[in-house]
Amino acid sequence: MTRPAPAIVILGNGSLATAQKIQQLYPHALIHGLAGRVEGADRSYQEFGATLRELYQQDIPIIALCAAGIVIRTLAPLLLEKGAEPPVLAIAEDGSAVVPLLGGLGGVNVLAREIAAGLNVTAAITTSGELRFGTCLLNPPSGYTLGDLEQGKRFVSDLLAGETVRIEGSAPWLAQAKLPEDDQARLAVHVGHAEREPAANELMIYPRSVLVAVSAAVVDLSVAIGEALHQAKVAVQSVACLLACETEMASPALREAAFELGVPLRFADGADGVRALARRMIGQPAVICGDDTIAIAVAEQPLDPLQIGRARGRLAVIGLGPGAAELMAPAVKAELACANDVLGYETYVRMAGPFRADQVMHCTDNREEMQRARHAFELAAQGRSVVVVSSGDPGVFAMAAAVLEALHESSEASWHNVDLQILPGISASLATAAQAGAPLGHDFCVLSLSDNLKPWSIIEKRLDLAAQADLALAFYNPISRARPWQLACALEIVGKHRKPATPVVLGRDIGRPGQTLRVTTLDQLTPEQVDMRTMVLIGSSTTCVFPRVEGGQWVYTPRWYK
């Protein structure tokens, strides 16, 4: 697995120069700066502690430019919960000290050495094994995996106590290590893909050199894979990836089996059966065993799963929420971080960024929704990870329905095979309501006043019935230059059923810079107070208003009804 790019977290402008030097070493890393204190960061955050903990929980390597103590205290509550940690480093603001704190098995010392070299200082490495041998035996390079961590720790402490070691099998990276080698040693590092019980005093390291090609039709797939590996005497730890025919891309059984094995799932054209599929993919002399449903191929070298066939494409339709980063769901942030392509109306794509140089942005006009949806499927069908952005929630007058409509209309199997996910966001009506209090605290009705995609007569009918039913009302798309008269007409219909003093909330650019919130009444409301960036909430007969001590008013609709 490749690690995500590190996050460089700074508290003040004084650290920016050092942060930028580190960013040159990791061009995909983003600089996170404290809002109001740092200008020129890629992302701004409100609260240091919450931000650091969120990054840690998302397994993102953290490079914090502040005192080590601050980082330790901030992450302390999380440390006991987690087995595997991302690398965490504290770096002096002026770049004079690089201190690896956590994530020894996640390569923190490697990062520390790289950063220290970039800053022309020496990293404060404290791991005895690394200092003595120049490498972390417990953290083999990608393509290899350690058999048992606890056993490994004992092994390293024996070495530190003065024991010597034999190396069996091929471990090219260990050649550079300053291990006390001796052919007669009691301790041995054994590198190989064979399944066997480790002998006493033996550290097992498995090359990830095995590919398992399977048919999704196998009953109890992961158990069957385990049995096939056992029969072939191949260690499950050596499996680099699971491979299947691309016609079976959407199979949940395959996904589960890959998940249980903890390996990537790849696909290729497999019309000629799994044995041929496995042989074709490895492209080098390989031992093949197994049958027509599960074939095991062992390569001479570790395999890079990214070079084998292709992944199942993914298309996520995401909601950014109203705009503020803290109102964006963590699942949405994670999806944006691993996207290859980001599609959407330019304003929203920009709001979702910034993006790394390897991520492709496809900005289009707001009206080209169906075309954008089809383009998203074309990209995802190639195995890419694609995100379509909407503001608020993607299912509320936004892209999710357009994407599903494009899929429904299509008979293209590769589109239907895409892993399609809709990730929700906080919709403008709810974000606005929350700022005003609880105007939608009882039954309410959500309407778009745009007659671009539906006849005005339908809107009039719905308005009339909803107003009559005494539902609180939330108007999206209330007005635009191309639709100047509709709002006045809508208010006239509502006015037939509601008192003039009915509370009204106008939220403009809620959750975005320059947001405004205004509380007024139905008789005072005029279309000039509203534009296309405004959310209009109209109360029901029970909605009430009272002053807030800090100024302004609270608006709420009680949950009871007479």
Residues near ligand SAH (CB under 6 A): 322-323, 390-393, 396-398, 427-428, 432, 476-478, 507-512, 532-535
Which residue lies nearer to ligand SAH by CB, 145 or 534? Answer: 534
Structure tokens that stand for 112 in this block: 């520390």
Q: How many residues does the chain have?
A: 562
Find the shortest distance in angstroms from Cβ 62 to ligand SAH: 31
202 has which bridge partners? 188
Report the C-alpha gap between 359 and 494 in whole angstroms. 47
> Residue 359 CB: number of other CB atoms within 10 A?
18
The answer to whether 253 and 216 are in contact (CB under 8 A) is: yes
Q: Which three-class secondary structure string do you get for 93-137?
A: CCCCCEEEEECHHHCHHHHHHHHHHHHCCCECCCCHHHHHHCCCC
Find the shortest distance in angstroms from Cβ 425 to ligand SAH: 7
Buried b (16+ CB within 10 A) or exposed e, 451-486: beeeeeeebbeebeebbeeebbbbbbbbbeeebeeb
Which residue lies nearer to ligand SAH by CB, 89 or 519? Answer: 519
Which residue lies nearer to ligand SAH by CB, 267 or 476? Answer: 476
Find the shortest distance in angstroms from Cβ 323 to ligand SAH: 5
Find the shortest distance in angstroms from Cβ 446 to ligand SAH: 9
Find the shortest distance in angstroms from Cβ 38 to ligand SAH: 24
Report the C-alpha gap between 62 and 89 in whole angstroms. 6
Which residue lies nearer to ligand SAH by CB, 359 or 427? Answer: 427
Ranked by CB distance to ligand SAH, the top (closest) residue is 392
Which residue lies nearer to ligand SAH by CB, 218 or 398? Answer: 398
Which residue lies nearer to ligand SAH by CB, 205 or 525? Answer: 525
Report the C-alpha gap between 455 and 239 in whole angstroms. 58
Find the shortest distance in angstroms from Cβ 439 to ligand SAH: 14
Q: Is 201 helix (H, G, I), strand (E, B) or coil?
A: coil
Find the shortest distance in angstroms from Cβ 442 to ligand SAH: 20
Question: Which residues make Cβ contacts (< 8 Å) with residue 154, sequence separation at least 6?
Answer: none
Report the C-alpha gap between 482 and 459 in whole angstroms. 17
At 306, the amino acid letter reads L
Which residue lies nearer to ligand SAH by CB, 251 or 432? Answer: 432
Which residue lies nearer to ligand SAH by CB, 390 or 540? Answer: 390
Which residue lies nearer to ligand SAH by CB, 377 or 397? Answer: 397
Cα angle for residues 59, 62, 63 (degrees, 5° grid): 165
Find the shortest distance in angstroms from Cβ 431 to ligand SAH: 6
Find the shortest distance in angstroms from Cβ 242 to ligand SAH: 37
Q: Is 355 helix (H, G, I), strand (E, B) or coil?
A: coil
Report the C-alpha gap between 267 and 43 in whole angstroms. 36
Find the shortest distance in angstroms from Cβ 321 to ligand SAH: 8
Which residue lies nearer to ligand SAH by CB, 385 or 427? Answer: 427
- The DSSP secondary structure of 421-464, one letter per residue, reads EEE----HHHHHHHHHEETTSS-EEEEE---SSS-HHHHHHHHH
Which residue lies nearer to ligand SAH by CB, 222 or 486? Answer: 486
Which residue lies nearer to ligand SAH by CB, 107 or 503? Answer: 503
Find the shortest distance in angstroms from Cβ 447 to ligand SAH: 11
Q: How far is CA 523 from the centre of its chain?
A: 46
Q: How far is CA 11 from the centre of its chain?
A: 24
The answer to whether 60 and 74 are in contact (CB under 8 A) is: no
Q: Is 380 helix (H, G, I), strand (E, B) or coil?
A: helix
Find the shortest distance in angstroms from Cβ 426 to ligand SAH: 8
Alpha helix (H) residue ranges in 214-329: 221-231, 252-261, 274-282
